[in-house]
Structure 1
Protein backbone atom coordinates (compact mmCIF):
# COMPACT_ATOMS: atom_id res chain seq x y z
CA UNK A 1 0.00 0.00 0.00
CA UNK A 2 1.38 3.42 -1.00
CA UNK A 3 1.93 5.95 1.75
CA UNK A 4 -0.04 9.18 1.52
CA UNK A 5 2.28 12.01 0.51
CA UNK A 6 2.65 14.72 3.12
CA UNK A 7 2.15 18.36 2.20
CA UNK A 8 5.26 20.15 0.93
CA UNK A 9 5.24 22.55 3.88
CA UNK A 10 5.35 19.64 6.34
CA UNK A 11 8.14 17.99 4.36
CA UNK A 12 10.02 21.29 4.42
CA UNK A 13 9.73 21.40 8.21
CA UNK A 14 10.80 17.76 8.54
CA UNK A 15 13.87 18.31 6.37
CA UNK A 16 14.75 21.50 8.28
CA UNK A 17 14.62 19.54 11.55
CA UNK A 18 16.81 16.75 10.14
CA UNK A 19 19.44 18.93 8.45
CA UNK A 20 19.57 21.80 10.93
CA UNK A 21 22.37 24.25 10.06
CA UNK A 22 23.40 22.08 7.08
CA UNK A 23 20.41 23.48 5.16
CA UNK A 24 21.31 26.92 3.85
CA UNK A 25 17.90 27.42 2.29
CA UNK A 26 14.68 25.41 1.97
CA UNK A 27 11.93 26.62 -0.34
CA UNK A 28 8.60 25.39 -1.64
CA UNK A 29 7.51 26.28 -5.17
CA UNK A 30 4.97 24.54 -7.39
CA UNK A 31 4.37 21.97 -4.63
CA UNK A 32 8.08 20.97 -4.74
CA UNK A 33 10.65 21.26 -1.95
CA UNK A 34 14.17 22.46 -2.80
CA UNK A 35 17.06 22.36 -0.33
CA UNK A 36 20.34 24.21 -0.82
CA UNK A 37 23.36 22.92 1.11
CA UNK A 38 26.99 24.05 1.23
CA UNK A 39 29.59 21.95 -0.54
CA UNK A 40 31.29 21.22 2.80
CA UNK A 41 28.04 19.74 4.17
CA UNK A 42 26.80 18.08 0.97
CA UNK A 43 27.70 14.45 1.58
CA UNK A 44 26.65 14.47 5.25
CA UNK A 45 23.35 16.17 4.35
CA UNK A 46 22.64 13.60 1.65
CA UNK A 47 23.30 10.74 4.07
CA UNK A 48 20.94 12.30 6.61
CA UNK A 49 18.25 12.62 3.95
CA UNK A 50 18.69 8.95 3.11
CA UNK A 51 18.88 7.54 6.64
CA UNK A 52 16.67 9.68 8.88
CA UNK A 53 13.24 8.29 9.74
CA UNK A 54 11.49 11.50 8.74
CA UNK A 55 13.00 11.50 5.24
CA UNK A 56 13.99 7.99 4.11
CA UNK A 57 15.00 9.03 0.59
CA UNK A 58 16.00 5.56 -0.57
CA UNK A 59 16.43 6.48 -4.23
CA UNK A 60 18.44 9.07 -6.10
CA UNK A 61 16.48 9.39 -9.33
CA UNK A 62 18.46 12.15 -11.03
CA UNK A 63 21.66 14.16 -10.67
CA UNK A 64 22.96 16.75 -13.12
CA UNK A 65 25.42 19.58 -13.43
CA UNK A 66 24.36 23.17 -14.11
CA UNK A 67 26.36 26.09 -15.51
CA UNK A 68 24.78 29.20 -14.00
CA UNK A 69 27.04 31.68 -15.83
CA UNK A 70 24.11 33.03 -17.88
CA UNK A 71 21.18 31.32 -16.22
CA UNK A 72 17.68 32.38 -17.38
CA UNK A 73 19.12 35.27 -19.44
CA UNK A 74 20.38 36.95 -16.28
CA UNK A 75 23.84 37.52 -14.87
CA UNK A 76 24.19 35.01 -12.05
CA UNK A 77 25.77 36.22 -8.82
CA UNK A 78 27.72 33.57 -6.98
CA UNK A 79 29.27 30.24 -7.87
CA UNK A 80 29.14 29.30 -11.55
CA UNK A 81 28.70 25.53 -11.27
CA UNK A 82 26.17 23.57 -9.28
CA UNK A 83 24.91 20.03 -8.89
CA UNK A 84 21.17 19.34 -8.64
CA UNK A 85 19.87 16.01 -7.34
CA UNK A 86 16.35 14.62 -7.06
CA UNK A 87 15.63 12.16 -4.27
CA UNK A 88 12.62 9.90 -3.87
CA UNK A 89 11.24 8.18 -0.80
CA UNK A 90 9.15 5.23 -1.95
CA UNK A 91 8.24 4.29 1.62
CA UNK A 92 7.01 7.79 2.53
CA UNK A 93 5.87 8.87 -0.96
CA UNK A 94 7.83 12.12 -1.00
CA UNK A 95 10.43 13.88 -3.14
CA UNK A 96 13.03 16.58 -2.65
CA UNK A 97 15.42 18.52 -4.87
CA UNK A 98 18.90 19.18 -3.45
CA UNK A 99 21.22 21.89 -4.81
CA UNK A 100 24.89 22.35 -4.03
CA UNK A 101 27.24 24.93 -5.55
CA UNK A 102 30.92 24.27 -6.29
CA UNK A 103 33.01 26.82 -4.35
CA UNK A 104 35.76 27.17 -7.01
CA UNK A 105 34.74 28.16 -10.55
CA UNK A 106 38.19 27.28 -11.94
CA UNK A 107 38.19 23.77 -10.46
CA UNK A 108 34.61 22.81 -9.50
CA UNK A 109 34.55 20.01 -6.91
CA UNK A 110 31.87 18.47 -4.70
CA UNK A 111 31.78 15.20 -2.80
CA UNK A 112 30.57 12.06 -4.54
CA UNK A 113 27.41 10.38 -3.27
CA UNK A 114 27.89 7.24 -5.39
CA UNK A 115 28.60 5.22 -2.24
CA UNK A 116 25.20 6.28 -0.84
CA UNK A 117 23.21 5.55 -4.01
CA UNK A 118 24.60 3.34 -6.80
CA UNK A 119 22.52 5.30 -9.33
CA UNK A 120 24.74 8.36 -8.76
CA UNK A 121 27.70 6.61 -10.41
CA UNK A 122 26.88 7.30 -14.07
CA UNK A 123 25.10 10.59 -13.33
CA UNK A 124 28.26 11.94 -11.70
CA UNK A 125 30.38 10.71 -14.59
CA UNK A 126 28.05 12.52 -16.99
CA UNK A 127 28.29 15.79 -15.01
CA UNK A 128 32.08 15.39 -14.95
CA UNK A 129 32.22 14.74 -18.69
CA UNK A 130 29.86 17.50 -19.80
CA UNK A 131 30.55 20.21 -17.19
CA UNK A 132 33.97 19.33 -15.76
CA UNK A 133 32.63 18.98 -12.21
CA UNK A 134 34.87 16.69 -10.16
CA UNK A 135 33.19 14.36 -7.67
CA UNK A 136 35.63 13.74 -4.87
CA UNK A 137 35.56 10.11 -3.72
CA UNK A 138 34.05 8.66 -6.91
CA UNK A 139 35.84 5.38 -7.60
CA UNK A 140 35.77 5.55 -11.42
CA UNK A 141 35.47 9.17 -12.52
CA UNK A 142 36.06 9.19 -16.28
CA UNK A 143 34.25 10.39 -19.36
CA UNK A 144 31.05 8.55 -20.25
CA UNK A 145 29.57 10.29 -23.33
CA UNK A 146 32.49 11.91 -25.14
CA UNK A 147 35.59 10.15 -26.45
CA UNK A 148 38.63 9.58 -24.24
CA UNK A 149 40.65 12.11 -26.25
CA UNK A 150 37.95 14.78 -26.13
CA UNK A 151 39.11 18.20 -25.00
CA UNK A 152 36.83 20.42 -22.96
CA UNK A 153 33.35 20.05 -21.51
CA UNK A 154 30.60 20.57 -24.09
CA UNK A 155 27.74 21.66 -21.77
CA UNK A 156 29.69 24.62 -20.42
CA UNK A 157 28.10 27.76 -21.80
CA UNK A 158 31.40 29.07 -23.17
CA UNK A 159 32.02 25.90 -25.20
CA UNK A 160 31.56 26.65 -28.94
CA UNK A 161 28.50 25.09 -30.60
CA UNK A 162 30.67 23.70 -33.39
CA UNK A 163 33.19 22.24 -30.94
CA UNK A 164 36.97 22.44 -31.31
CA UNK A 165 37.61 19.36 -33.45
CA UNK A 166 35.75 17.02 -35.78
CA UNK A 167 36.39 13.32 -36.24
CA UNK A 168 36.16 11.00 -39.20
CA UNK A 169 37.28 7.53 -40.17
CA UNK A 170 40.39 7.61 -42.36
CA UNK A 171 40.41 4.59 -44.70
CA UNK A 172 44.13 4.92 -45.44
CA UNK A 173 45.16 5.05 -41.80
CA UNK A 174 42.37 2.64 -40.84
CA UNK A 175 41.44 4.58 -37.76
CA UNK A 176 39.45 7.54 -36.51
CA UNK A 177 41.30 10.86 -36.87
CA UNK A 178 40.68 14.24 -35.27
CA UNK A 179 41.03 17.46 -37.24
CA UNK A 180 40.21 21.14 -36.67
CA UNK A 181 36.58 22.04 -37.34
CA UNK A 182 36.17 22.73 -41.06
CA UNK A 183 32.67 24.26 -41.05
CA UNK A 184 32.15 27.99 -40.72
CA UNK A 185 29.65 28.98 -38.03
CA UNK A 186 26.63 30.73 -39.57
CA UNK A 187 23.16 31.80 -38.62
CA UNK A 188 20.29 30.15 -40.43
CA UNK A 189 17.06 32.11 -40.68
CA UNK A 190 14.05 29.94 -41.48
CA UNK A 191 12.18 30.83 -44.64
CA UNK A 192 8.64 31.95 -43.85
CA UNK A 193 5.93 31.40 -46.46
CA UNK A 194 2.79 33.44 -46.01
CA UNK A 195 -0.43 32.49 -47.77
CA UNK A 196 -3.24 34.97 -48.26
CA UNK A 197 -5.96 32.59 -47.10
CA UNK A 198 -3.97 30.36 -44.71
CA UNK A 199 -6.30 28.64 -42.27
CA UNK A 200 -9.36 30.30 -43.72
CA UNK A 201 -8.22 33.76 -42.63
CA UNK A 202 -8.71 36.67 -45.07
Structure 2
Protein backbone atom coordinates (compact mmCIF):
# COMPACT_ATOMS: atom_id res chain seq x y z
CA UNK A 1 0.00 0.00 0.00
CA UNK A 2 1.29 3.44 -0.90
CA UNK A 3 1.82 6.15 1.69
CA UNK A 4 -1.01 8.13 0.10
CA UNK A 5 -3.48 5.26 0.60
CA UNK A 6 -2.22 4.67 4.13
CA UNK A 7 -2.93 8.33 4.96
CA UNK A 8 -6.40 8.07 3.44
CA UNK A 9 -7.13 4.87 5.37
CA UNK A 10 -6.04 6.49 8.63
CA UNK A 11 -8.13 9.59 7.89
CA UNK A 12 -11.18 7.40 7.18
CA UNK A 13 -10.74 5.51 10.44
CA UNK A 14 -10.37 8.79 12.33
CA UNK A 15 -13.44 10.41 10.79
CA UNK A 16 -15.79 7.40 10.54
CA UNK A 17 -14.51 4.95 13.15
CA UNK A 18 -16.92 2.07 13.77
CA UNK A 19 -19.29 3.24 11.04
CA UNK A 20 -17.02 1.54 8.48
CA UNK A 21 -18.43 -1.97 8.09
CA UNK A 22 -15.75 -3.03 5.63
CA UNK A 23 -12.61 -1.40 4.23
CA UNK A 24 -10.93 -2.95 1.21
CA UNK A 25 -7.88 -1.99 -0.82
CA UNK A 26 -8.03 -3.33 -4.38
CA UNK A 27 -6.20 -2.16 -7.49
CA UNK A 28 -4.82 0.91 -5.74
CA UNK A 29 -8.21 2.20 -4.58
CA UNK A 30 -9.98 2.07 -1.24
CA UNK A 31 -13.59 0.95 -0.93
CA UNK A 32 -15.62 1.28 2.23
CA UNK A 33 -19.00 -0.24 3.02
CA UNK A 34 -21.36 1.64 5.33
CA UNK A 35 -24.86 0.87 6.61
CA UNK A 36 -27.94 2.40 5.01
CA UNK A 37 -28.86 4.00 8.36
CA UNK A 38 -25.49 5.81 8.60
CA UNK A 39 -25.07 6.55 4.86
CA UNK A 40 -26.23 10.18 4.74
CA UNK A 41 -24.29 11.29 7.83
CA UNK A 42 -21.17 9.40 6.70
CA UNK A 43 -21.24 11.24 3.37
CA UNK A 44 -21.69 14.59 5.09
CA UNK A 45 -18.75 13.82 7.36
CA UNK A 46 -16.58 12.76 4.42
CA UNK A 47 -17.34 16.07 2.72
CA UNK A 48 -17.11 18.38 5.72
CA UNK A 49 -14.37 16.94 7.93
CA UNK A 50 -10.99 18.63 7.44
CA UNK A 51 -9.17 15.26 7.47
CA UNK A 52 -11.06 13.95 4.42
CA UNK A 53 -12.43 16.93 2.43
CA UNK A 54 -14.24 15.00 -0.31
CA UNK A 55 -15.60 18.05 -2.11
CA UNK A 56 -16.79 16.30 -5.25
CA UNK A 57 -19.10 13.42 -6.09
CA UNK A 58 -17.77 11.93 -9.34
CA UNK A 59 -20.21 9.09 -9.90
CA UNK A 60 -23.09 7.21 -8.33
CA UNK A 61 -24.60 4.02 -9.69
CA UNK A 62 -26.82 1.12 -8.72
CA UNK A 63 -25.73 -2.52 -8.60
CA UNK A 64 -27.81 -5.71 -8.64
CA UNK A 65 -25.95 -8.53 -6.85
CA UNK A 66 -28.63 -11.19 -7.41
CA UNK A 67 -26.43 -13.40 -9.62
CA UNK A 68 -23.06 -12.25 -8.29
CA UNK A 69 -20.52 -15.07 -7.90
CA UNK A 70 -22.83 -17.45 -9.79
CA UNK A 71 -25.59 -17.05 -7.24
CA UNK A 72 -23.35 -17.66 -4.22
CA UNK A 73 -23.99 -14.11 -2.96
CA UNK A 74 -25.89 -14.17 0.34
CA UNK A 75 -26.11 -10.45 1.12
CA UNK A 76 -28.61 -7.79 0.13
CA UNK A 77 -29.47 -7.67 -3.55
CA UNK A 78 -29.16 -3.93 -4.31
CA UNK A 79 -26.35 -1.53 -3.57
CA UNK A 80 -25.50 2.05 -4.39
CA UNK A 81 -21.85 2.72 -5.17
CA UNK A 82 -20.54 6.27 -4.96
CA UNK A 83 -17.16 7.59 -6.11
CA UNK A 84 -15.80 10.64 -4.32
CA UNK A 85 -12.87 12.96 -5.06
CA UNK A 86 -10.90 15.14 -2.68
CA UNK A 87 -9.19 17.79 -4.78
CA UNK A 88 -7.43 19.19 -1.72
CA UNK A 89 -5.85 15.84 -0.80
CA UNK A 90 -5.80 14.26 -4.28
CA UNK A 91 -7.72 11.22 -2.98
CA UNK A 92 -10.41 9.05 -4.50
CA UNK A 93 -12.78 6.87 -2.52
CA UNK A 94 -15.48 4.35 -3.35
CA UNK A 95 -18.39 4.10 -0.90
CA UNK A 96 -20.85 1.20 -1.08
CA UNK A 97 -24.16 1.02 0.75
CA UNK A 98 -26.62 -1.88 0.55
CA UNK A 99 -30.38 -1.33 0.59
CA UNK A 100 -31.85 -3.32 3.47
CA UNK A 101 -35.08 -4.35 1.70
CA UNK A 102 -34.78 -6.24 -1.61
CA UNK A 103 -38.50 -5.78 -2.35
CA UNK A 104 -38.29 -1.99 -2.02
CA UNK A 105 -34.64 -0.90 -2.12
CA UNK A 106 -34.29 2.45 -0.37
CA UNK A 107 -31.28 4.56 0.62
CA UNK A 108 -30.94 8.22 1.55
CA UNK A 109 -30.55 10.79 -1.21
CA UNK A 110 -27.30 12.74 -1.44
CA UNK A 111 -28.78 15.68 -3.37
CA UNK A 112 -28.54 17.90 -0.27
CA UNK A 113 -24.86 16.96 0.12
CA UNK A 114 -23.78 17.15 -3.54
CA UNK A 115 -26.05 18.60 -6.24
CA UNK A 116 -24.38 16.29 -8.78
CA UNK A 117 -26.18 13.31 -7.20
CA UNK A 118 -29.51 14.41 -8.71
CA UNK A 119 -29.34 12.81 -12.16
CA UNK A 120 -27.20 9.88 -10.98
CA UNK A 121 -29.89 8.94 -8.47
CA UNK A 122 -32.61 9.32 -11.07
CA UNK A 123 -30.64 6.97 -13.33
CA UNK A 124 -30.24 4.37 -10.53
CA UNK A 125 -33.97 4.63 -9.85
CA UNK A 126 -34.88 4.28 -13.51
CA UNK A 127 -32.58 1.36 -14.32
CA UNK A 128 -32.57 -0.55 -11.00
CA UNK A 129 -35.66 0.64 -9.13
CA UNK A 130 -33.61 1.93 -6.18
CA UNK A 131 -35.51 4.63 -4.28
CA UNK A 132 -33.72 7.63 -2.77
CA UNK A 133 -35.33 9.04 0.36
CA UNK A 134 -35.32 12.84 0.25
CA UNK A 135 -34.86 13.20 -3.52
CA UNK A 136 -37.32 15.88 -4.61
CA UNK A 137 -37.65 14.88 -8.28
CA UNK A 138 -37.26 11.09 -8.48
CA UNK A 139 -38.62 10.18 -11.91
CA UNK A 140 -37.39 8.27 -14.92
CA UNK A 141 -34.52 9.82 -16.86
CA UNK A 142 -33.52 7.32 -19.58
CA UNK A 143 -36.58 5.19 -20.28
CA UNK A 144 -40.01 6.32 -21.41
CA UNK A 145 -42.42 7.53 -18.69
CA UNK A 146 -44.80 4.66 -19.49
CA UNK A 147 -42.02 2.08 -19.30
CA UNK A 148 -42.74 -0.84 -16.98
CA UNK A 149 -39.91 -2.40 -15.00
CA UNK A 150 -36.25 -1.60 -14.48
CA UNK A 151 -34.05 -2.81 -17.36
CA UNK A 152 -30.73 -3.25 -15.51
CA UNK A 153 -32.15 -5.68 -12.98
CA UNK A 154 -30.75 -9.15 -13.55
CA UNK A 155 -34.24 -10.67 -13.76
CA UNK A 156 -35.40 -8.26 -16.50
CA UNK A 157 -35.67 -10.11 -19.85
CA UNK A 158 -33.14 -9.10 -22.50
CA UNK A 159 -35.91 -8.53 -25.04
CA UNK A 160 -38.04 -6.57 -22.58
CA UNK A 161 -41.78 -6.92 -22.00
CA UNK A 162 -43.21 -4.48 -24.53
CA UNK A 163 -42.11 -2.74 -27.69
CA UNK A 164 -43.27 0.55 -29.08
CA UNK A 165 -44.00 1.40 -32.69
CA UNK A 166 -45.82 4.03 -34.67
CA UNK A 167 -49.20 2.86 -35.97
CA UNK A 168 -50.10 4.67 -39.20
CA UNK A 169 -53.79 3.72 -38.93
CA UNK A 170 -54.14 5.12 -35.41
CA UNK A 171 -51.64 7.93 -36.13
CA UNK A 172 -49.95 7.48 -32.77
CA UNK A 173 -47.30 5.47 -30.95
CA UNK A 174 -48.63 2.19 -29.56
CA UNK A 175 -47.22 -0.34 -27.12
CA UNK A 176 -47.54 -4.04 -27.80
CA UNK A 177 -46.06 -7.26 -26.43
CA UNK A 178 -42.61 -8.06 -27.78
CA UNK A 179 -42.84 -9.83 -31.13
CA UNK A 180 -39.20 -10.85 -31.46
CA UNK A 181 -38.82 -14.60 -31.58
CA UNK A 182 -36.15 -15.72 -29.12
CA UNK A 183 -33.35 -17.54 -30.90
CA UNK A 184 -30.12 -19.19 -30.06
CA UNK A 185 -27.06 -17.73 -31.70
CA UNK A 186 -24.57 -20.44 -32.43
CA UNK A 187 -21.45 -19.22 -34.20
CA UNK A 188 -20.73 -21.03 -37.43
CA UNK A 189 -17.10 -21.92 -37.90
CA UNK A 190 -15.90 -22.27 -41.45
CA UNK A 191 -12.34 -23.23 -42.09
CA UNK A 192 -10.65 -23.95 -45.33
CA UNK A 193 -8.92 -27.27 -45.63
CA UNK A 194 -5.45 -25.73 -45.55
CA UNK A 195 -6.24 -22.76 -43.32
CA UNK A 196 -3.09 -21.18 -41.86
CA UNK A 197 -0.69 -23.23 -43.94
CA UNK A 198 1.39 -21.98 -46.82
Give the TM interval when normalised to the shorter protein: over 0.9
- 5+ residue gaps, structure 1, are none
TM-score (norm. length: structure 2): 0.94
Provide the secondary structure at the position in 1 that maps to 2:43: helix
Q: TM-score, normalised by structure 1?
A: 0.93
RMSD: 1.5
Q: Does 1:13 align with 2:10?
A: yes
Matches within 5 A, 1:144-155: 144-155=141-152
Residue 195 of structure 1: how far off its partner (Å): 3.6
The CA deviation at 1:72 is: 3.6
Q: Is the counterpart of residue 112 in structure 1 residue 105 in structure 2?
A: no
Q: Which residue of 2 aligns with 1:60?
A: 57
Deviation of the 1:97 alpha carbon: 0.2
CA drift of 1:136 comes to: 0.4
* CA distances 1:123-167 after superposition (whole Å, capped 9, x unpaired): 100000010000000010000011001111111100111100000
The secondary structure found in structure 1 opposite 2:122 is: helix
How many corresponding residue pairs? 197
Secondary structure in structure 2 of the residue aligned to 1:127: helix
Q: 1:141 aligns with which of 135, 138, 141?
A: 138
Partner in structure 1 of residue 66 of structure 2: 69
Q: What do the CA deviations read for 1:17-61 (whole angstroms, capped 9, x no partner)?
A: 101122111111111100100000000001111111111111111
SS of the aligned residue for 2:153 comes to: coil
* 2:167 alignment partner, one of 161, 167, 170: 170
